[in-house]
Amino acid sequence: MAYSIDKARCVGCGACAYICLYNAAGAADDIASIYEIDEKKCVECGQCSHICPNSAITAPEGWRKIKKVTILPEKCKGCTLCRRVCAADAPFGEVKQPFEIDQSKCFQCGACAKKCRFGAIEVEYV
Helix ranges (H only) for 34-95 are: 47-51, 81-85
> Total structural domains in the chain?
2
Are residues 52 and 98 both part of a single domain?
no
Are residues 41 and 70 both part of a single domain?
no
For residues 12 and 5, is the Cβ–Cβ distance under 8 A?
no
Domain boundary among 41, 58, 75: 58
Are residues 70 and 121 both part of a single domain?
yes
Q: For 57-78, how does the pLDDT look when each residue is reduced to its tens digit (9 = 90+)?
A: 999 888 888 899 999 999 999 9
pLDDT at 2: 84
Q: Which residue has the higher pLDDT, 27 or 52?
A: 52
CATH value at residue 38: 3.30.70.20
The domain of 49 spans 4-58
Which residue, among 44, 47, 45, 39, has the nearest Cα to 17 in the 3D structure? 47
